[in-house]
Amino acid sequence: MEHQTKLSIKNFWSIVVNSTTTFVLAYLMVFYINFFLKISMAVVFDYPVNFSYNKIGYFIQKYEWTHDSVRLIYSSGPILLLVLGILSLVLYASMSNEEGRIKIFFIWFTLHAFNFVFSGLMIGNIFTHGVGHVFNWMYLTDTTKMVVALVGFFALLMSAILVTKPIASSAVSYFNGLDETNIPFFITSQIIVPFIIGSGLVLLYFFPLVSFQEKYSWIVLGVLLLIVSGRINAMEPVNYDIEEKSPGISWVVLIFTIVVALAIRFGLSSPISIGM
C-alpha cells in the first residue's frame, strides 16, 4: 500500500509539535490534580499551608501529623489519578478510529498518570517520597516495601503493554497505514522526540525548584516508551483508509497550552497562604 502522507521534514515537525504540546499539557494536568488535591486535603485537617507553582509547605509541628492525615494527603492524588488514567484510556479507545490530532492527549495523560502512580509505588516507596510517606507511616517491613516496589515495577511494564496498540492507532491521524516504510518516522515524531523535548520543557518550567518527581520520573517514562516503540516496530503492517492526510500544527491546542503554562507558572510564582 502506498501511503499518501509524505515523510517530509515539515510533516515530521508538525507531528512533533502536536505530540509535544499534548505531552506537556497532560503532564501539567496530572501534576496539578495531585498538587491541589494535597492542598485540599490539608485544609480538611485545618493544616495551614503555603504554596507556589510547584511547592507546598505545611506549617505544623511533627506531632500534629496523624495516620489519617498522611493517608489522605499523600494517597488521594495517586488514587484519583489512577482512576482518571483508566478513564482517559477508555475515552481514547472510544475515539481510536477518529482522525482528531488532540486525541493523543488522552494517551499522554494515561502514561503520565500511570507513571506517577506506579513509579511512586516503586521509587517513592523506596525513598519515602510522595505516596511513600503513607507506607512509611504504616511501619512496613523492608520485605513488604520491596513487594510494593515490585508491584509498581510490574504495573509499569503492564502499562507499556496496555498502551502500545492505542499509541500505534494514533497514526490514523496522519497516515493511511503503518508498515516498515513509515513506522520509524511515526515512532520518532510521535513518541521519541516529543518525549525528549517535552521532558526538557517541563524541567525548564519547574526550574530552579525541580522536585523529586521531575528528577526521576523521566527515566521510568523513557524506559516505558522504549518498550512501546519496540513493540510498535515489531507490529504487522496496518491499513487504515485511502483518504488523503494533511498533517498540520494544531494551533489552538498549542496556544492554549502556552497560555495555561505561563498563567500558572507566573500566577503562582509568589507564595499563597491558606489558614495562616
Does some domain include residue 67? no
In whole angstroms, how far apart are CA 226 and each of 10, 70, 93, 95, 254? 25, 35, 22, 25, 26
Does some domain include residue 47? no
Does some domain include residue 166? yes
Does some domain include residue 50? no
Q: How many domains does the chain have?
A: 1
Greater model confidence, 245 or 88: 88
| Confidence at residue 1, expressed as pLDDT on a 0 to 100 scale | 43
| Confidence at residue 137, expressed as pLDDT on a 0 to 100 scale | 53
How much is the mean pLDDT over the chain?
A: 85
Taking 50 as the threshold, does the pLDDT of residue 45 lie above it?
yes
Does some domain include residue 83? yes
User: 21: Cβ–Cβ under 8 A, 6 or more apart, which residues?
Assistant: 250, 253, 254, 257
Task: Please say whether the beta carbons of 145 and 107 come within 8 A.
Answer: no
| Confidence at residue 2, expressed as pLDDT on a 0 to 100 scale | 47
Mean pLDDT score, 177-206: 92
Does some domain include residue 209? yes
Question: C-alpha dihedral over 170, 172, 177, 178, to 10 degrees?
Answer: -10
State the cell numbers at 116. Answer: 506517577
Does some domain include residue 273? no
- Give CA–CA dist 108/20, Å, rounded: 10
Does some domain include residue 30? yes
Taking 80 as the threshold, does the pLDDT of residue 99 lie above it?
no
Q: How confident is the model at residue 136 (pLDDT cuts 50, 70, 90)?
A: low
Taking 70 as the threshold, does the pLDDT of residue 124 lie above it?
no
Greater model confidence, 38 or 3: 38
Which residue carries 498522611 as its cell? 70
| Confidence at residue 222, expressed as pLDDT on a 0 to 100 scale | 92
* Residue-range definition of the domain harbouring residue 126: 9-42+73-268
Q: Cis ω on the peptide bond leading into residue 208 (within 30° of 0)?
A: yes
